[in-house]
Structure 1
């Protein structure tokens, strides 16, 4: 069984290495292709308009590429922040719901009710419910305020 696990790890590592090598080769080929296309565009503009216009055309092309990369980076970063905020809200809701579904907590609560008695416990539970409601309304008001973006 352990040998099969080791073989699976070796196989997955080998395939990941092959995929990484292929991705690296594709990236190098794309870089060389882009370099030749930029050189061809530069020579074309140089022959038709002159060296200054050729340099400005090359700079404009790279500026557009840089702006596209910056915009996609910004959009991706916002998307990741939004997903992290949603995950935090879901985790907070799951933690609150999970606390009441814990069987050990319910068993402890039943033992406390038996030990203290239901008639003495009702006023304590009423005060606790009011306090919980106040805390929930405060946290809801704090989370509904829009957060400032840096």
Structure 2
């Protein structure tokens, strides 16, 4: 829905977003100052959405991540017209293909830094691993402005 304050009018907008998988918290990230929106339901499957045309232009797979890995936090920490660096922090479980899973309550948070090429819409993991944070009840992460821009 869109609301025009001046005209005091609600208008329905068909955004053409892909359907949300059941029991999956969707993450939306604007890619810098571009007209692209990153839609992430599960860590290895990303939809690139064009805000100006209001449609999905590409679905990108990130190799090396388990298909059920859920994203806790995601940030676009660097963006140029050619590429974006995406940092993801994932819920405990089977995150990386072929590696042992992390357990809820273990104090371990898995992360991956992914380089997204905007011209070819391809993604590749640049670094990945597990942070051992120790015991925590609530975890809040936020990104600080990118000093490179």
| TM-score category of the 2 structures, normalised to the smaller one | under 0.3
Higher strand share: 2
Higher helix share: 1
With normalisation by structure 2, the TM-score equals 0.16
